[in-house]
Amino acid sequence: MEPMAIVSIFVLAVFVGFEVVSKVSSTLHTPLMSGANAIHGVILVGAIIVADHSSTNLELGLAVAAIVLATINMVGGFVVTDRMLEMFKGNKK
Amino acid sequence: MSRTLYDLVGLAAGVAFILALKGLSHPKTARRGNLIGAFGATLATLVVFFYANPGSSLPLNNLGWILGAMVVGLAIGVPAARKVQMTQMPQLVALFNGVGGGAAALVAIVEYLHLGPKATTAEVIFTVFTVIVGCVSFSGSVITFLKLQELMTTRPVIFPAGRFIIAATLVSVLGVGVWVVSALGTTPLLVLAALSLLFGVLFVLPVGGADVPIVISLLNAFTGLTVAASGYVLDSVLLIIAGTLVGASGTILTRKMAEAMGRSLFGTLFGAFTAKPQDAAGSGEERPVRSGSPDDVAILLNYARRVVIVPGFGLAVAQAQHTVRELADMMIAKGIDVAYGIHPVAGRMPGHMNVLLAEANVPYEQLAEMDEVNPTFGQTDVAIVIGANDVVNPAAQTSPGCPIYGMPILEVNNAANIIFLKRSMRPGFAGIENELLYDPKTMLLFGDAKASLTKVVSALKAL
C-alpha cells in the first residue's frame, strides 16, 4: 500500500481514538480498558494470515501459538467486559 | 473473494471498533458498544478465511491447525472469563492483554522468518518494533498479574543499582534492534525477543501495587500499537485501524486514570527508580489503638444522624457486599442518612468498586463519588471504613515523601467518629502506615469484614 495512505490512516485513527474516549467517566474506566483490550485481539486475523502462508514447521508452530493466544485475548476480553457491564444494568431507573 | 470486497469488510469492522469505543464511554450504551466490538471482531475473523493472502487458495493452508488452535483458545478464554470472581477481574484483564502482546510478537517473528531476505527495511523496522513492544507487554503483564494475584509482593521491588540495570537492558534492546535491521538473521531476532522479555519484567517490578492499574492500561495501549505495526507488515488496513484506535484511546485512558489517582504518568513509571526503600516495619513499636466490640459499633451507629460507608477491596474479598447493604437498609429504616463514599480507585482499578457494589444490587443513587461526598464529612457522625486503607490515608495530603502523596483521598478524618473494619493492623496495598488508625476518634473492629458486619447487624437489631 502507498506509504502516504498508511500514514494518513494512522494519523486519522489516532485522532479518532483520542476523541471517542475523551469524555469517559471514571466509573467506566475499567470496562473501557477491558473492551479496548479485547479489540486488539483482532491480531487473531494477523495470526491466521501468517498461519496460511507458513512454509516450515517452525513458522506453523509459532503461528498456531499466536492463534491460541490471540483467540484468548479477543474472546475472553469481550466476554469479561460483557460480564462487568451486565452488573451495571438493572440498577438504574 | 476479491481484495476490494475483503478490504471493505475490514473497513466495516474498523467502523464497528470506533462505535464500540464510543459506546463504552457512556454508561447507557456501554454494553451495546462492547457487543458491537465483538461483532466487528467476529466479522474480521470470518472474512479472513476467504482471503488471507493475495492469491491464496481456498480453503486456507493449514486450515485444520488454524481451527484447532482457535478451539483451544476458546476453550481457555471463555471459561476463564466466565468463571473469574469479579474481585480478580483486574488481573484477568492484565493477562488477556499480555497474551495479546505475545501473539503480536509471535506474528511478527513468523512473518520475519517467512519474508527472509525479501523483507524491506521498513518491514524489518516495524517487525523489530512489534517484537520489542509485544514482548515487553507480555512479560510486563505477567508481572502485573502476579502482583495483583498477590503471588509476589505488591510493594515496589527495588534492587541496588536497579535503574542502571534497567537502562542498560533498554540500551541493549535498542542495540540488538539495530543489529536485526542491519544483519537480518534469526539469531539476533531471538536475542531481541529474550532481552525485551527481560526488560518488561524489570520495567514493571519497581511499580508499587497501587499504580499497577495504570501500568496495565499503558501496556494495553502498547499492545494496540504493536497490532498497528503488524498491520503494516501484513498489509492489513483493519489491523492498522484497530491497533491505532486502541493505542490512542489507551493512551488517553492511561492519562485519565493517572489523573484520577493524582499521579503524574512519568512519576508512576519512573518514580520508583529514584524511590528510597521505605522502612518496612514502620517504627516497630506497638502503639495503642482503640478497638471496640460489634455492640459499641452498633450503639454508635444507632445514635448517628448521618453515616458514610467507605467500602474498599477488603469488603470485596470477604464477599460482604450483601451484608453491608443489609446494614445500610436497616439504618435507613431507622431514619439515618446513609451514603456510600466511593473512591475512584477503590478496589484494584478505577471503577472496580462500582462494579462490585452493582453486583450486590446496591441502589445506584446511594453511591456518592469522592467529590460529592468529601464536603459532607464535616456533618457526618460516623464514617465506616470497610476493608479500605490507602484511599482514606491522610498521609496522601500531609507527608510529601510517601508513595501515595498527592492521591486524592476520602477525607473521613473530618467525620466526628471513624470506624475501621479491618482484618489486622497490616498496612494497605501500597504498604504505608495509616496514622488515622491511631487517632483518638477512631474505633477499630478486627476480623473478617463479613463476620464483623453480621455481628453489627444483629447487635443493631437488638437495640
Upstream peptide bond of B59 is cis (omega within 30 degrees of 0): yes
Q: What is the structure's pLDDT at B395?
A: 83
B251 phi-psi bin (left φ>0, alpha ψ -120 to 50, beta other): alpha
Give residue-wise pLDDT tens across range B33-72: 999 999 999 999 999 888 777 777 778 888 899 999 999 9
Residue of B107, B189, B345 for testing the chain A interface, max A β-carbons within 10 Å: B107
Is pLDDT of B276 > 60?
no
Other Cβ atoms less than 10 A from the Cβ of B69: the count is 24
Percent of chain B past pLDDT 70, that is, above it, reads 92
Lowest pLDDT segment from B122-131, B256-265, B297-306? B256-265
Q: What is the structure's pLDDT at A93?
A: 35
Give residue-wise pLDDT tens across range B305-319: 999 999 988 887 778
Residue of B349, B197, B171 lying closest to B260 (CA atoms): B349
Distance, in angstroms, between A51 CA and closest chain B CA?
7
B262 confidence band (pLDDT: 50, 70, 90): low
**Contacting B residues, span 307-366, partner chain A, CB-CB under 8 Å:** 344, 349-352, 354-355, 358-359, 361-364
Q: Assess if CATH 3.40.50.1220 describes domain B294-462.
A: yes
Is pLDDT of B431 > 80?
no
Residue of B356, B423, B302 lying closest to B86 (CA atoms): B356
Residue B125 has φ and ψ, to the nearest 5°, of -60, -45
Q: What is the structure's pLDDT at A90?
A: 47
Question: Measured between CB atoms, does B240 come within 8 Å of chain A?
Answer: yes
Write out chain A residues lying below 8 Å of B96, CB-based: 34, 37-38, 41, 72-73, 76-77, 80
Question: Measured between CB atoms, does B420 come within 8 Å of chain A?
Answer: no
Query: Do the Cβ atoms of B27 and A89 come within 8 Å?
Result: no
Write out chain A residues lying below 8 Å of B33, CB-based: 35
Query: Do the Cβ atoms of A73 and B97 come within 8 Å?
Result: yes
Query: Do the Cβ atoms of B103 and A66 come within 8 Å?
Result: yes
Give residue-wise pLDDT tens across range B144-189: 998 888 888 777 777 777 778 888 888 888 988 888 888 777 888 8
Distance, in angstroms, between A8 CA and closest chain B CA?
11
Distance, in angstroms, between A5 CA and closest chain B CA?
10
Query: Do the Cβ atoms of A28 and B359 come within 8 Å?
Result: no
Query: Do the Cβ atoms of A47 and B358 come within 8 Å?
Result: no
Packed helices B63-83 and A43-52: angle between N→C axes, nearest 10 degrees: 160
Pairwise CA distance, residues B174 & B289, whole Å: 53
Is pLDDT of B88 > 80?
yes
Residues of B carrying an active site annotation: 390
CA distances from B268 to B93, B259, B281, B333, B381 (A): 20, 11, 23, 44, 36
What sign for the dihedral angle of Cα B425, B326, B92, A39? negative
Q: Where are the domains of chain B?
A: 91-277, 294-462
Q: Which of A41-45, B179-183, B296-300 has the highest mean pLDDT?
A: A41-45
| DSSP characters over B340-355 | EEE-TT-SSSTTHHHH
Percent of chain A past pLDDT 70, that is, above it, reads 92
Cell numbers for B9 = 469488510
Distance, in angstroms, between A55 CA and closest chain B CA?
7
Going by the DSSP 8-state scheme, the letter that residue B291 receives in this structure is: B
Bridge partners of B382, per DSSP, are B307, B417
Write out chain A residues lying below 8 Å of B372, CB-based: none
Is pLDDT of B263 > 80?
no
Lowest pLDDT segment from A27-31, B118-122, B238-242, B279-283? B279-283
Q: Between residues B383 and B269, which one has the greater pLDDT?
A: B383
Q: What is the structure's pLDDT at B286?
A: 60
Query: Do the Cβ atoms of B220 and A75 come within 8 Å?
Result: no
For the entire predicted model, the pTM comes to 0.80
Distance, in angstroms, between B220 CA and closest chain A CA?
6
Query: Do the Cβ atoms of A45 and B110 come within 8 Å?
Result: no
Is pLDDT of B292 > 70?
yes
Pairwise CA distance, residues B129 & B76, whole Å: 28
Residue of A50, A73, A79 lying closest to B48 (CA atoms): A50
B140 confidence band (pLDDT: 50, 70, 90): very high
Q: Average pLDDT in the B355-378 region?
A: 83
Query: Do the Cβ atoms of B248 and A17 come within 8 Å?
Result: yes
Burial code of B160-183, b = ≥16 C-beta within 10 A, e = fewer? eebeeebeebbebbeebbebbeee
Give residue-wise pLDDT tens across range A57-73: 999 999 999 999 999 99
Q: How many CB pairs under 8 A join A and B?
A: 374
Q: What is the structure's pLDDT at A25?
A: 76
Query: Do the Cβ atoms of B244 and A64 come within 8 Å?
Result: no
Write out chain A residues lying below 8 Å of B236, CB-based: 45-46, 49
Question: Measured between CB atoms, does B140 come within 8 Å of chain A?
Answer: no
B272 confidence band (pLDDT: 50, 70, 90): very low
Burial code of A56-69, b = ≥16 C-beta within 10 A, e = fewer? eeebbebbbbbbbb
Q: Between residues B351 and B418, which one has the greater pLDDT?
A: B418
Q: Between residues B347 and B326, which one has the greater pLDDT?
A: B326
Pairwise CA distance, residues B361 & A89, whole Å: 10
Question: Measured between CB atoms, does B67 come within 8 Å of chain A?
Answer: no
Q: Average pLDDT in the B386-395 region?
A: 85
Amino acid at the residue B115: L
Write out chain A residues lying below 8 Å of B242, CB-based: 39-40, 42
Q: Average pLDDT in the B114-128 region?
A: 86
Packed helices B63-83 and B89-115: angle between N→C axes, nearest 10 degrees: 160
Q: What is the structure's pLDDT at B268?
A: 64
CB B17 within 8 A of CB B37: yes
Q: What is the structure's pLDDT at B16?
A: 95
Q: What is the structure's pLDDT at B269?
A: 65
Residue for cell digits 476518634? B441
Residue of A14, A21, A28, A45 for testing the chain B interface, max B β-carbons within 10 Å: A45
| DSSP characters over chain A | --HHHHHHHHHHHHHHHHHHTTT--GGGHHHHHHHHHHHGGGHHHHHHHHHHT--SHHHHHHHHHHHHHHHIIIIIHHHHHHHHHHHHTTS--
Q: Average pLDDT in the B211-229 region?
A: 90
Q: What is the structure's pLDDT at B400?
A: 77
Q: Between residues B225 and B365, which one has the greater pLDDT?
A: B225
Going by the DSSP 8-state scheme, the letter that residue B334 receives in this structure is: T
Query: Do the Cβ atoms of B358 and A88 come within 8 Å?
Result: yes
Pairwise CA distance, residues B146 & B91, whole Å: 8
Q: How far apart are the first and last CA of chain A?
A: 50
Q: Which of B28-32, B73-77, B172-176, B431-435 has the highest mean pLDDT?
A: B73-77
Please state the ipTM of this predicted complex. Answer: 0.93
Q: What is the structure's pLDDT at B238?
A: 92
Q: What is the structure's pLDDT at A92?
A: 43
Q: What is the structure's pLDDT at B160?
A: 76
Is pLDDT of B339 > 70?
yes
Write out chain B residues lying below 8 Å of A15, CB-based: 248
Say how far residue B435 (Cα) sits from the centre of its chain: 27
